[in-house]
Homo-oligomer: A and B are copies of this chain.
């Protein structure tokens, strides 16, 4: 087991009507609140009105229209400007992981005199950030319980992840009811994103029996309940299992003491969605089984065997090679059963696009140093297999 430091100070309020804690939570901060949200789904489900009614004695400012794969320009820059101009005391993110990630960047940028892109690219450290509270409406990124954010910059095709312990939300309100109206497509993409977070930590050199078991439990919960939620979108228990699993999938509690894998599937997907703005979880669903197939080797095979026999109950008396191959098929089949595109072609990416993307990944993501090392040619081969 590797040494580690671990710290997750966010206060979690989980369950039906947990929004009723919002007034108490926000009473700790000043009166100037920036509410951030996306395309308006929070209005359709009545959440926007509920929030406004709870905060009627506050000075409310708003930043709406935050994009999926949230953009540095205009969203982060606009949010930072509002925070500085209006002397915002606390940011309230109401939406999915994209809104929340954008809000984290805003909270950091609001307390920095230079170009906020410096913080996102680690050219300058985050030394201070506005407090952040969120109401999360999608089970996917786990951003509600971690210290990271991923921000895209269109003009350079960059999609950058950054983190700081100052970016943990002060509190996260997590009510599975808000996910009842999430589309089947986004439900599936969110589930795959959460599963992939666990897989990125699982397929690594060093890992413990404890973390393996907890990780397998998380993936099994999502695999069990996603079809139920797709069939019965209002099934509270299914939505709650998926949401809690997604919340824990990315905050490190399932990979304590593991060595880093280099997060290769996310590294590849970030480039795809930076170039083509595809849905993150869909991109991961396309890449994962091809990445698994490509990196299968004598060095990596034991992780496939562990994953396959524990997550999918594949017969452990089969040969390692058989187990590994069946494991990859299972991952593909389960993602496909969620009824999302399973090829890059379906999401509008052509073979002629891949060379530049592979080059971009190879020079920016350091995957040559990943557990299963990938050079530019390897990445290109994986991408071609995704067509």
Q: Are A240 and B216 in contact (CB under 8 A)?
A: no
**Contact (Cβ within 8 A) A241 B14:** no
Residue A12, interface by CB 8 Å: yes
Q: Is A8 an interface residue (CB 8 A)?
A: yes
**Segment at the B interface, from A130-138, A179-187, A205-213:** A205-213
Alpha-carbon gap, A253 to B252, bound state (A): 12
Instruction: From known contacts A213-B214, A213-B217, A257-B14, infer whether A244 and B7 are also in contact, taking CB-CB under 8 Å.
Output: no
Whether a CB of chain B sits under 8 angstroms from the CB of A225 is: yes
The 0/1 profile, CB within 8 Å of B marked 1, for residues 224-244 of chain A is 110000000000110011001
Tell which of B17, B214, B244 touches A1, judged by Cβ atoms closer than 8 Å: B244
Please indicate the chain B residues that have their CB under 8 angstroms from the CB of A6 in the complex.
11-12, 14
- CB nearest to A7 among chain B residues: B11
Query: How extensive is the interface on chain A, given as a class?
Result: 35 or more
**Which of these, B4, B14, B214, B256, contacts A4 with CB under 8 Å?**
B14
Please report the C-alpha to C-alpha distance between residue A213 and residue B257 in the assembled complex, in whole angstroms.
Answer: 19
Contact of A161 with B by CB under 8 A = no
- Kindly supply a per-residue 1/0 record for chain A positions 327-346, scoring 1 wherever the CB is within 8 Å of any chain B CB and 0 otherwise: 00000000000000000000
Determine the distance from Cα of A148 to Cα of B11 in the docked complex, in whole angstroms: 17
A18 touches B (CB below 8 Å): yes
**In the complex, what residues of B have CB within 8 A of residue A248's CB?**
210, 253
| A162 on interface, CB distance cutoff 8 Å | no
Interface residues in A4-28 by Cβ distance below 8 A to B read 4-18, 21
Judge whether A210 and B245 touch: CB under 8 Å: yes
Answer yes or no: A220 CB below 8 A from chain B CBs: yes
A217 touching B221 by the CB < 8 A rule?
A: no
A9 to B145, CA, bound (A): 12
Chain B positions within 8 Å of A156 at CB level? none
A113 to chain B, nearest CB (A): 26
Task: Give Cα A4–Cα B4 distance, bound, in whole angstroms.
Answer: 28
A241 to B10 Cα, complex, angstroms: 26
Q: Which residue of B lies closest to A16 (CB)?
A: B3
Which listed residue, B3, B11, B13, B221, touches A208 by the CB 8 Å rule? B221
The interface residues of chain B lying within 8 Å CB-to-CB of A12 are 4-7
Chain B residues with CB below 8 A from A236, complex form: 1
Of the candidates B17, B241, B257, which one forms a contact with A209 in the assembled complex, judged by CB atoms under 8 Å apart? B241
Contact yes or no, B9 A244, CB < 8 A: no
Determine if A2 is an interface residue (Cβ-Cβ < 8 Å).
yes
Contact of A214 among B9, B15, B214 (CB under 8 A): B214
Q: A18-B3, A237-B1, A257-B240 are in contact. Are A210 and B216 (CB under 8 A)?
A: no
Known A2-B15, A12-B5; contact A221-B241, beta-carbon cutoff 8 A? no
Give 30 A-B contacts (CB < 8 Å), ordered by A residue: A1-B240, A2-B15, A3-B16, A5-B12, A5-B21, A7-B11, A14-B256, A208-B221, A208-B240, A208-B241, A208-B244, A209-B224, A209-B225, A210-B218, A210-B241, A212-B217, A213-B213, A213-B214, A213-B216, A213-B218, A213-B221, A214-B214, A214-B218, A216-B217, A217-B217, A240-B257, A244-B256, A244-B257, A248-B253, A253-B253
